[in-house]
Amino acid sequence: MDDYESVLLVKQEVFVYRIPPRTTNRGYRAADWNLGTPDWTGRMRLVNKKDECMIKLEDKTTGELFAKCPIDKYPGVAIESVTDSSRYFVLRIQDEEGRSAFIGIGFGDRSDSFDLNVALQDHFKWVKKEEEAEKEKEEGRPALDLGFKDGQTIKINMKITKKEGQDATARPKAKAGGGLGILPPPPGGVKLAPPPAPAATSTPRTAPPTQPSNMDILGDLVAPPSSTEAQSAAGAGESWGDFASASPKPQPQPQPASNSNPNSGSGTGWVTF
């Protein structure tokens, strides 16, 4: 388990530059490097092995190690940001014999450099918490005991006003769309009977229309009712009152014509005025 290596970050493309020695304490500037022609291009991996964090620069195809940069703290001397850009850093690389040198690295995308910053900060925050936990364990600080003591009890006040189950069944919920909240009738309910038909009333039958005679047209005369019509009118008098019981108007006798028209088809029935 001591040789287990965990990978914290991988970037498939990183550019490596030879940088001139720093002459002042103001920091490194990426503008002083030959950014158009990097000296090496490969893959970068940020790994954590045991208690050591390091950046490994490897070949993209074969995975051969080009250089490694052990990091003891961040920010620190092992990795520094340049003063004129957020995409470039200065690494202190070391070989197996302990010799060190400073090189410059850069990324084509600004988000890659942001990911490197975040990964380093998260790692060293975790290391700090682990160190604090080990220190507390060595000092023998008693752990926080949250258990109940002998005879200790707690009291919980629960105020229940209504039974939710009964309340839910008693009051139906209104629809989400609003409205008056009128529920439809239940299936198989009581059906109302249709309204009763109106009672048949005896109405006087009228005689079928007859062809008016010549006397009816000229004299506005009405033929006397027949015996059947008179009986019907008498039976309907109970419903219609005095109007049905009135006696029919006697028909006046037609007067003979004084002069007859010799040219007419019939010699009688026409009155000349």
Q: Domain extents for the chain?
A: 5-132
- 262: pLDDT strictly greater than 90: no
Q: Report how far Cα 138 is from the mean position of its chain's Cα atoms.
A: 56
**Percent of the chain beyond pLDDT 90?**
29
- Tell me, what DSSP letter sits at residue 125? H
243-268 exposure pattern, b = at least 16 Cβ within 10 A, e = fewer? eeeeeeeeeeeeeeeeeeeeeeeeee
**Percent of the chain beyond pLDDT 70?**
56
pLDDT of residue 200: 54
Residue 105, H or E segment: strand 100-106
Question: For residues 111 and 121, is the Cβ–Cβ distance under 8 A?
Answer: no
Q: Report how far Cα 209 is from the mean position of its chain's Cα atoms.
A: 76
pLDDT of residue 24: 75
pLDDT of residue 202: 52
Show Cβ contacts of residue 30 under 8 Å, excluding neighbours closer than 6 positions. Answer: 82, 84, 85, 87, 88, 104, 106
Strands 79-81 and 88-94: antiparallel
pLDDT of residue 180: 55
How would residue 147 be classed by pLDDT, with cut points 50, 70 and 90? confident
For 9, the token pair is 């970050």
- 9: pLDDT strictly greater than 90: yes
- 145: pLDDT strictly greater than 80: no
For 119, the token pair is 């990964």
Cα–Cα distance between 55 and 68 in angstroms, integer?
Answer: 6
How would residue 133 be classed by pLDDT, with cut points 50, 70 and 90? confident
What pLDDT, in 10s, does the model give residues 156-172? 888 777 665 555 555 55
Question: For residues 87 and 95, is the Cβ–Cβ distance under 8 A?
Answer: no
Give the HSE-up count for residue 94: Cα atoms under 13 Å, Cβ half-sphere: 13
Q: Of 42 and 2, which is predicted with more confidence? A: 42
pLDDT of residue 51: 75
How would residue 75 be classed by pLDDT, with cut points 50, 70 and 90? confident
How would residue 110 be classed by pLDDT, with cut points 50, 70 and 90? very high
Q: Report how far Cα 61 is from the mean position of its chain's Cα atoms.
A: 50
Cis peptide before 21 (omega within 30 of 0): no
For 79, the token pair is 């990795």
For 135, the token pair is 């220190």
- 232: pLDDT strictly greater than 80: no
Q: What's the whole-number average pLDDT of the chain?
A: 73
What pLDDT, in 10s, does the model give residues 195-230? 676 655 555 555 555 555 554 444 444 455 555 554
Q: Of 147 and 165, which is predicted with more confidence? A: 147
pLDDT (average), residues 40-54 = 90
CATH class of domain segment(s) 5-132: mainly beta
pTM for this entry: 0.49
pLDDT of residue 266: 47
pLDDT (average), residues 242-267 = 51
- Tell me, what DSSP letter sits at residue 96? T
